[in-house]
Structure 1
Amino acid sequence: MSHTVSKAPPGSDAFFERNLAAFKTHMPSVWQLLETIGTPVSKLVSGPDGAMNIDLGSVSLYDRDAREVTRQQLDEYFKLPDRLKFSTVSHCNLIGLSMALFQSTRTFIDEHMSPEEFVELPVVDIGYCYVFGVGLGYHLEELLERTHCRTMIIVEPTPELLLHSMRAIDWVALWEQAAARGQDVYVVIRSEPEHVSETIFSIQDKHGRTFLNGSYAYHHYYSWTLKRIRELINTKMESYHWSKGYFEDELLMMGNTVGNFARFNHAIIPWEQRLHQDTPVLVVGSGPSLDKDLPHIARLRDQAIILSCGTSLGILLKHGIRPDFHLENENTYPLVNNLIKFKEEYGLEGIVLLGSSSIHPEASAQFDEVWYYYRSGLSCDHLLNPGYHAIISAGPLVANAGFAAVSALGFRRLYLFGVDCGRRPDASHHSKDVVYLQDDYDNWLAGSSLKGLEESFNQVVEGNFGGKIITSWKLAYSRTQFSRIQSLKNLDIHNCSDGAAIAGARPQAAAALRLSDMDLPREAVIRSVREQLPHYAAGKGLNIKNLKTYKESVESFGSGIKLIIEQARAEDRLFSELEDRIQNWFLEHKEDLKGVLVLARESMASAIRVGAYMAGRIDNEDLRQEFLAMFLDKFDIMCASITETALDAYDDYIDQAKAARSARAGSPGSIAPDPSERL
């Protein structure tokens, strides 16, 4: 372990101040926190050769000289380093276009390599090195040099230990050496595990998920806090690598939104603050505890507004409970089949549909009145939203979307029923009357099944009414989104579900729940909310000029990406170089390319991720270059397909918008068609 020595000797005040100034430059938020620390409780122990330990009071951080301990620790670590390993390509989200490209990479590997030659972990393009604990920092320089990571994230829960390290190692030189090798170094010094894990993932969001596989994790010293941070990272990593969307799905959501806006008169639910509604709302999901609470929901029917979410509509109608609002959030046709069945059996008159703009138009067609919302981050939000704030935290469950939507409508007092976010060990995962459990139900999405649903429960959390609840990462994430909305809107939440506890929601036994009669008739409450919303006639929410501009951006993408790929063929030798090249082009032309990047960026990222995953495991340099050349050929074909498909899609969107405008112009009493005009 060699260390660059600055002009001021280690341990001196000048050396310390120079390091502290470096934090002000590179990590100003950390510097601000360090400035608030008074006299440290711990003490630096120095010897003839400089800093050698930290006295924590009753114990020392190291059992002997820190340099000796660190040297031994590093030697042992690199014999069998702790590395993040994805054993399959599932983290690449292989759907549609990216799946076809993966098949080409798999064929190349099968034809050119034996299984033994395809190594388990990447030998190039290492994304991250997570360092848990700074101590005196003697391990940092060697970890940077030997891991070849692109980004080092250092976690130190005790800020004053970081201060002591500034008299031991040269932080200035560390950042200089990292910059010279193209590496980034971050330091996180909070002690709250949840906050630290969120900060780490925000750093990863900035630098990307392409090169997560093979990342290093190094524990310098033991503490409960560091152990808990690592556990949280491991748990969140299960869902973190999933893409936020993919090309084919974004096209579907855009097409559905255009279809909805072209065909139906509708209102829009903005996230902006509405007038407060004092009327309580029962938000009803399809969790297993709904079965025992149905009599109480019926009892409370005249004292509250009822919102059914997804499949709970059929359950409520079967038991004679007619909701005021129903919410659908997904863009798939199976939910249409469910709604058609419910309409045929029970009728849906008088129920207002709250729906994501991207739901299938035939779902909208089952209701007499529909209020749409834009889901934050989707293509239809970025490309078709005229300026409203989109609904946030509208997932992963339809109950999350329902919760967020009614809070956006101004309702402040919400009661959760059947929102279990898990199940008791001896319970089912859904209400016994949910359509999924019917013997003849065959309306599953491709790749989904009852067995897969049952096998997803693999975590244990605290119950709303005590005890333990079995849950999944998706349901666990759902709980955090309820808590997020509750905190942002300062809502009064009562959780009547016998499932997982939700932070910010008070447990409330349904049997003991008593509500007063509503101050206003039900119809007056709904009318008051309706009158606050912007309303659009069919076709008036579509801006043809913008759609034409987006089509032009697809044409620019088609020619531009070919030039980028040609440059990559001539100059790039690593997938990290290819990714940087494409990302830089995206950033430089993000407005010019908006109409296609919003649709295809995640699929392109998935393709590069799978290429990097495969290439990193090819130890032979020449063969790796041959693989990259093959990949660029297939990637070129993929981008050409994106261009052609997106052009056809925009032609269709424009035709639908024009047809809706023509129909409107031909209607009696019609006025000049203005895409931004409301009813």
Structure 2
Amino acid sequence: MSVELYHRNIDALRRHLPPATVEKIDRPVAFPALVAEEGGGDINIDLGHTRLYAGGAAAYAAGQVARYLAKPSRLFVNPPPLDSDWVKGEKPFYEALIERFGPLPDPESGEPGVSPGVRPGALISFGVGLGLHIPLLLKSISVRDVFLAEQFPEFVSLSLRVTDWAAVIDGLEAAGGRLHLYLDASPIVLAARVFEGMRRHCALTMDGSYGLRHYASPVLDDAHRQFSEMLPTLGSSHGFVEDECLMLRNAVGVMRQDSIKVAPPQDFAPHAIPAIVVGSGPSLDGSIEEIRRLRDRALLISGGTALSALLGYGLKPDLHCEIENVEDIHTVIAGVAERYDISDIPLLCPLTVDPRIPPYFRRVVGFFREGLTPTLLFGGDVGPWNHAGPTVTNLAMRAAAWAGARRVYLFGVDMGTAEKEKHHSDASFYAWEAGSGDDAYWRSGANMDRFDIAVPGNFRDKVFTNKTFLFNKAFFSTFAAAHPGIAVSNCSDGARIDGTITCPPGELVLEPAGGDPRAVIESLIDALPATGKVLPASTRKSGLSAYAQDLAAWRHEALSVLEQSYGLDVAIERFQELVLQGDGPDAGNSRAASACYGGTTSLMLHYAFAHYRRLAGDEREAFDGFCRAALRDSIAWMGALTDAAIRDAEGGGVSAP
């Protein structure tokens, strides 16, 4: 417990942690106290009513590590679902590797003791305590990064006096890795920070990663539960190059419509009128009369196909939201417009939607969606909206905050279902099309993945969801945690959303609005500038020219990595920053290039690393050479896509009719 160790640790941690995190742990701790165990030889943390470790910290750590190594909890990548719509242009890459080397080997093959091991990405520990378990684990396992989640900064501060964190950091740096520490009393925040950290720093190398809970507490137990619930989506794509190209074409086409208003990310001033956010989940049908009862007492905001359901029930929203760029959205809007007059409903959408959609609405508000290529190219002076995705109901909740509501009620935002075959409201566009003929596409929810993951329900013990909704559900929770001044109540009979208040629709009581909800939206739109005033054509043209050069530079750098003589696992680690630069806070064309290529490239490398790591040593050399050649072909394919997209964008993008 030397002063020298403390200062050496602090100096090392400053190299890896944000200053605000270091400030929380670099301070004296009066309570809880670091104490010696009776009989000497071990230490503990005195919590007042008890001690943290049964039998002492060193004995506890040694026992925990021995038990863990005998039966470690590991994270393994699954084979790509080649028949899924979510597997796009990267499919030939997977098929070539599988045809040549067979399916993804069993997870435990290629581990140390069978052949020379390839280091997996990470060790995750929910709970730090005195941290004595971390050096012990790293003596037996090899990883690139260590992720630590802790509720109490005081515990970490005490650990600086007894654990040699400087040696841990030196070892991680030698492997090209880092130590990541997340401190928070919210289980939602802790789970989200570890999840986001893994996706940011170990997106390509997560196969084989290790995870454990160091000690039990309500916060850490709940954080671990939430993180475990999100695990099926940990390897989800950061985007697809085809989508980025489409969104570039769309954005240029939308920005040519100078009447569209552009909204910066700042929320408007709070007011007393609450918001009802409506999705088109199956439970909407059972709660529609409650929405009708409350309609004049709140802003009514619809997301996606909820518009068709609300209009079918005779309710017109004050604001409608769309987010996707695909053809289906135009099909839906055109179909709804054939039945109902939607021209007087204000539309909120990212500037990347199909340019044919805005003309259906008289008043349109566009915004830059966080992390997308057009945002990084053109949105620097305006700024991106965060928490505005990934789905349209996430956007609708963000829209409620933008409009100044401080109480939000979710209806039909199910994120799952009690009946596995029922995916949307019976009044939604899906039911319209399915009822008009034998249209398997719409009856399937537009080829929606099956609901085969059981999760806790909002009003039931469990409901069933899929990876897409599981991923989206986590974003609702992080929104709630990031906006503590907004009370979010979940009135949907679907999946439980951590961070929201469960509220049966029949029990909801709202006071009179004290004003016209529609007038609130109209006044906000009046205050916004049009696209032509924010993003003149000259700005767009110069941005595209520089972007083309940066795309070429990205491809050149990627090919240079593949030409180096180090092993494929090292090459993939070198790609880590290259493919994820677009996640950074500083916008620019080079980051736009990474955002464009990074998602598809990371999916391919994510799989390649897992396959390579699990092969026996004598098989890796052949896989290495074949995989590099397949990646070169994929980079050439992506280059052809982006070259065509830029030519189209320079010609005006996709135009509205």
- Note the C-alpha offset of 1:457: 5.2
Are the aligned partners of 1:317 and 1:346 in contact in 2 as well (CA < 8 Å)?
yes
Are the aligned partners of 2:207 and 2:609 in contact in 1 as well (CA < 8 Å)?
no
**1:102 to 2:94 alignment:** yes
TM-score (norm 1): 0.79
Are the aligned partners of 2:477 and 2:500 in contact in 1 as well (CA < 8 Å)?
yes
Where do residues 6-85 of structure 1 align in structure 2 (5 Å cutoff)?
29=21, 32-33=24-25, 35-41=27-33, 43-45=35-37, 50-51=41-42, 74-85=65-76
- Note the C-alpha offset of 1:214: 0.5
Are the aligned partners of 2:250 and 2:654 in contact in 1 as well (CA < 8 Å)?
no
Q: How many angstroms apart in 1 are the aligned matches of 2:437 and 2:145?
A: 48
SS at match of 1:374: strand
**1:213 to 2:207 alignment:** yes
Q: 2:528 aligns with which of 524, 529, 533?
A: 533
Alpha-carbon distance change, 278 to 442 in structure 1, aligned in 2, over 3 angstroms: farther
Q: 1:119 aligns with which of 109, 125, 148?
A: 109
Q: How many angstroms apart in 1 are the aligned matches of 2:93 and 2:420?
A: 44
Alpha-carbon distance change, 119 to 545 in structure 1, aligned in 2, over 3 angstroms: same
Q: 1:637 aligns with which of 596, 621, 633?
A: 633
Q: Which amino acid aligns with 1:532?
A: A
Q: How many angstroms apart in 1 are the aligned matches of 2:15 and 2:227?
A: 28
- Note the C-alpha offset of 1:611: 1.4
Q: How many angstroms apart in 2 are the aligned matches of 1:398 and 1:585?
A: 26
Q: Which amino acid aligns with 1:338?
A: V
Alpha-carbon distance change, 353 to 152 in structure 1, aligned in 2, over 3 angstroms: closer
Q: How many angstroms apart in 1 are the aligned matches of 2:403 and 2:56?
A: 63
Q: Which amino acid aligns with 2:72?
A: P
Alpha-carbon distance change, 119 to 354 in structure 1, aligned in 2, over 3 angstroms: same
SS at match of 2:140: helix
- Note the C-alpha offset of 1:248: 0.6
Q: Which amino acid aligns with 2:528?
A: L
Q: Which moved more, 1:119-128 or 1:477-486?
A: 477-486
- Note the C-alpha offset of 1:485: 5.0
Q: 2:463 aligns with which of 458, 465, 470?
A: 470
Q: Which amino acid aligns with 1:603?
A: T
SS at match of 2:74: coil
SS at match of 2:145: strand
**1:459 to 2:451 alignment:** no
Are the aligned partners of 1:309 and 1:398 in contact in 2 as well (CA < 8 Å)?
yes
Q: 1:488 aligns with which of 480, 483, 488?
A: 483
Q: Provide the residue aligned with 2:547 in structure 1.
A: 550
Are the aligned partners of 1:494 and 1:506 in contact in 2 as well (CA < 8 Å)?
yes
SS at match of 1:529: helix
Q: How many angstroms apart in 1 are the aligned matches of 2:406 and 2:474?
A: 18
- Note the C-alpha offset of 1:334: 1.6
Q: 2:427 aligns with which of 423, 426, 433?
A: 433
Alpha-carbon distance change, 222 to 374 in structure 1, aligned in 2, over 3 angstroms: closer
Larger radius of gyration: 1
Q: How many angstroms apart in 2 are the aligned matches of 1:96 and 1:387?
A: 33
- Note the C-alpha offset of 1:426: 11
Q: How many angstroms apart in 2 are the aligned matches of 1:654 and 1:361?
A: 16
What do you get for the CA RMSD once the two structures are aligned?
A: 4.4
Are the aligned partners of 1:51 and 1:167 in contact in 2 as well (CA < 8 Å)?
no
SS at match of 1:455: coil
Q: Provide the residue aligned with 1:249 in structure 2.
A: 243
Q: 2:124 aligns with which of 124, 130, 150?
A: 130
Are the aligned partners of 2:567 and 2:624 in contact in 1 as well (CA < 8 Å)?
yes
- Note the C-alpha offset of 1:357: 1.7
Q: 2:261 aligns with which of 234, 259, 267?
A: 267
Deviations 1:477-506 (A, max 9, x none): 555545655663834656554554674558
Are the aligned partners of 1:283 and 1:399 in contact in 2 as well (CA < 8 Å)?
yes
Q: 2:372 aligns with which of 368, 378, 381?
A: 378
How many pairs were matched up? 640
Unaligned runs of 5+ in 2: none
Q: How many angstroms apart in 1 are the aligned matches of 2:605 and 2:140?
A: 25
Q: Provide the residue aligned with 2:391 in structure 1.
A: 397
Deviations 1:136-177 (A, max 9, x none): 655433422331111123456566665665665544444334
Are the aligned partners of 2:205 and 2:610 in contact in 1 as well (CA < 8 Å)?
yes
Unaligned runs of 5+ in 1: 1-10, 664-679
Where do residues 340-359 of structure 1 align in structure 2 (5 Å cutoff)?
340-359=334-353
Q: Provide the residue aligned with 1:321 in structure 2.
A: 315
Alpha-carbon distance change, 475 to 103 in structure 1, aligned in 2, over 3 angstroms: closer
Alpha-carbon distance change, 422 to 62 in structure 1, aligned in 2, over 3 angstroms: closer
Q: How many angstroms apart in 1 are the aligned matches of 2:493 and 2:439?
A: 28
TM-score (norm 2): 0.82
Q: How many angstroms apart in 2 are the aligned matches of 1:114 and 1:396?
A: 29
Q: Which amino acid aligns with 1:83?
A: R
- Note the C-alpha offset of 1:328: 1.5
Q: Which amino acid aligns with 1:337?
A: T
Are the aligned partners of 1:20 and 1:31 in contact in 2 as well (CA < 8 Å)?
no
- Note the C-alpha offset of 1:23: 5.3
- Note the C-alpha offset of 1:227: 4.3
- Note the C-alpha offset of 1:631: 1.4
Q: How many angstroms apart in 2 are the aligned matches of 1:539 and 1:199?
A: 34
Are the aligned partners of 2:348 and 2:364 in contact in 1 as well (CA < 8 Å)?
yes
SS at match of 2:456: strand
Q: How many angstroms apart in 2 are the aligned matches of 1:222 and 1:517?
A: 46
Q: How many angstroms apart in 2 are the aligned matches of 1:548 and 1:433?
A: 47
Q: Which amino acid aligns with 2:69?
A: F
Q: How many angstroms apart in 1 are the aligned matches of 2:497 and 2:319?
A: 25
Q: How many angstroms apart in 2 are the aligned matches of 1:132 and 1:498?
A: 31
Q: How many angstroms apart in 2 are the aligned matches of 1:223 and 1:256?
A: 49
Q: How many angstroms apart in 2 are the aligned matches of 1:17 and 1:514?
A: 56
Q: Which amino acid aligns with 1:610?
A: Y
Are the aligned partners of 1:270 and 1:389 in contact in 2 as well (CA < 8 Å)?
yes
Alpha-carbon distance change, 639 to 309 in structure 1, aligned in 2, over 3 angstroms: same
Q: Provide the residue aligned with 2:590 in structure 1.
A: 593
Alpha-carbon distance change, 299 to 380 in structure 1, aligned in 2, over 3 angstroms: same
- Note the C-alpha offset of 1:295: 3.8
- Note the C-alpha offset of 1:12: 5.5
Q: How many angstroms apart in 2 are the aligned matches of 1:532 and 1:386?
A: 20
Deviations 1:338-364 (A, max 9, x none): 222222222323223322222222323
Q: Which amino acid aligns with 1:119?
A: S
Q: Provide the residue aligned with 1:362 in structure 2.
A: 356
